Amino acid sequence: MNKQRINSLLVALLICTQSVAGPQVSTITSAQIIGSFGDQSCVNYCITGVCVWMTCTPLGCKTDTSMRVSHRNPDLHVSVYDEPGVSPWIDWGNTFASVKLAAVNGLTGTFSGGFAGGGNQTNTNHGNNTSLRHKEAEVFGSPKLLYNNLSLFCPSQATAYQPYMFTELDALTWRMGAAEMVYLASYTPGLREIGNFPVNMWGSLFPRTSAVNTNEDPKANAIIAQRVGNIVTQSGQPHIYNAVTGYPDPSYLYFRIPGELKENSKIGGVWQEMLPLPETSCKVFGKADFTPIDNYSNIARTSQNEVAAYTLWRPYECCEIKGTQYLYTIPLRSCSNLGW
C-alpha cells in the first residue's frame, strides 16, 4: 500500500472519528503552523533549467550558472472567525484583538445594535430556511516563511507574521459592501462563483463582504478565505489592507510571480486547511463533495467556535542572480516529491 493511500485512509479515519465525537473548539499556535507539513500538492517543486550569467570587467568576461526552480511558497496564513477580535491563532492573531475591536466598534457604532458582532442569522421565508452568516478574517504572512531562506527556493512577496488585512479595520466596506457594487459580479448570478455554475456552487466571490448565505459553515469559511485572498493579492481594491504584490527579491531573477488569486484555479495559489481539520494536501475550493476527504459538508470540518485557518501556497519561478548579465536558460525539468 503506497504512502498516498495510507495518508488518505488516515484522513478518512480522522473524519469518521471526529464525526462521532462532534465539533470541538479549534485554536492554533505559531509552533503548530511552523510545524505543519505541506506535501507535493502544495509545494510542487521542480527544477526547470540552468540560468547562465555573464560578468565582464576590463580584464575579460566570465560566466556562471544558477539553478532555475519553480515551486509554491506558503505565503499567507488566513484565519476566519465569527466574533470580531477573536482569532483562532491564539499567540499572534489575538494580540491584535484590542485594535480590531476598537476599530470595528468605532466604525460601526453609529449603525444598528449588534451590527459589529459576527455569527449566524437564520431566516425563514415561505418555509425555506436560509442561513446568513457574517464572518471576520485576518491575513498574515505565514510564519512558515521563516524557513524560506535557502538558495534553491524563491523568496516570497510576503513577509512572515506581517499583517496584510484585518476585516475589522475595513468594517464599513466589509459589512456594508457599497464599494463592491461597482463590480458586475456583485449582482450577476453565475459570475465569479466558487464552484461550477449552475451546479455545485459553494457561493459567490463577489461581493467581497462579511455575508455568506449557506447552511454549511466549512464552505462559508472557505468562501471568506477566498474573498480576502483575492483582495490582498491585488492592488487598488476598495478595502483597507496591505497588498501582497511587488518584486520579491532583487538578488533573484523571477520568471513567474503570483498575481491575483482566482477562484476554481491553481494558477494563483492553492489552499491547505489548518483548522479545524489539519491536512497535508492542498486544493482549490469549490470541488464537489464526492468523497469523505473532500466533503466540505462533513462535521469534521466544523468547529464548535465556527472558525477555520488556512495556508495559501502561491507559485514562483526564479533563479539566483550570478552575474551582471542574464544570457539564457538551459532547459531541463525534474520534479520531486518534496514537502515542506
What's the chain's average pLDDT?
88
Question: Lowest-pLDDT range, 11-20, 91-100, 146-155, 234-243?
Answer: 11-20
Question: What average pLDDT does range 175-200 have in this prediction?
Answer: 90
Give the model confidence (pLDDT) of 95-106 as tens digits. 999 999 999 888
Looking at residue 76, its amino acid is: L
The reported pLDDT for the residue numbered 10 is 41
Question: What average pLDDT does range 30-36 have in this prediction?
Answer: 96
Output phi, psi for 3, to 5 deg: -65, -40
The reported pLDDT for the residue numbered 289 is 74
Best CA proximity match to 216, nearest among 200, 227, 232: 200
CA distance 88 to 300: 17
Best CA proximity match to 224, nearest among 216, 157, 97, 266: 216
Give the model confidence (pLDDT) of 69-83 as tens digits. 999 999 999 999 999
Looking at residue 285, its amino acid is: F
Residue 206 near residue 178, CB atoms below 8 Å: no
Residue 224 near residue 212, CB atoms below 8 Å: yes
For residue 333, what are the CA distances in angstroms to 44, 47, 67, 321, 329? 12, 5, 11, 20, 12
Question: What average pLDDT does range 157-170 have in this prediction?
Answer: 98
Residue ranges per structural domain of the chain: 73-318
Question: Lowest-pLDDT range, 6-20, 58-72, 152-166, 323-337?
Answer: 6-20
Residue with the larger pLDDT of the pair 130 and 336: 336
Residue 197 above 80 pLDDT? no
The reported pLDDT for the residue numbered 13 is 42
**Strands of the chain, DSSP E:** 46-57, 60-81, 119-125, 128-134, 136-141, 163-166, 193-195, 201-204, 211-213, 252-256, 270-275, 308-320, 325-335
CA distance 80 to 35: 20
Question: What average pLDDT does range 316-330 have in this prediction?
Answer: 98
The reported pLDDT for the residue numbered 111 is 54
CA distance 80 to 67: 38
pTM metric for this prediction: 0.89
